[in-house]
Amino acid sequence: MYNYSINTTYLDIKDEDQDTQYRKELLEVFMLHEYRHKPIMKTIEFCFKQYGEQHQVKIILTELIKHSTFPFGLDQATAFTILFSFENFYYFHKALKNMERNSTINPELYKNIIENLQKNSL
């Protein structure tokens, strides 16, 4: 399951503490005490099935794929998984919270996600 109630804060703290806080928050949203790949991937797959067809998410995934610098193509499911990376999770978790409550992403948050993807080309 996914814990929508967690607030992402890791980008709001000192740089040297961000990685540890990101890992902590990531585990909290997946309701885990230690990293376990299979349950995390199962939950990400569930979220993709739940939100992957939402119009704003489709545009976010298209932007991520367009700005990717990986030497191979990304499909939508893989791109969705990348939204849980350090560079993207801060904003994308907030988007998931928005969609869980309202079925859409707040326009300002949506703009921040797109700008972040363009700035942090993978």
Q: Is residue 5 part of a domain?
A: no
User: How do residues 9-22 score in pLDDT, each as one tens digit?
Assistant: 999 999 999 999 99
Instruction: Give phi and psi for 84, each to the nearest 5.
Output: -100, 5
Q: How much is the pTM?
A: 0.93
Q: Is residue 93 part of a domain?
A: yes
Q: Is residue 85 part of a domain?
A: yes
Number of domains in the chain: 1
pLDDT band at 121 (very low <50, low <70, confident <90, very high): low
The parent domain of residue 32 ranges over: 15-120
Q: Is residue 8 part of a domain?
A: no
Instruction: Give phi and psi for 57, each to the nearest 5.
Output: -65, -40
Q: Quote the DSSP letter at residue 37.
A: H
Q: Is residue 23 part of a domain?
A: yes
pLDDT band at 119 (very low <50, low <70, confident <90, very high): confident
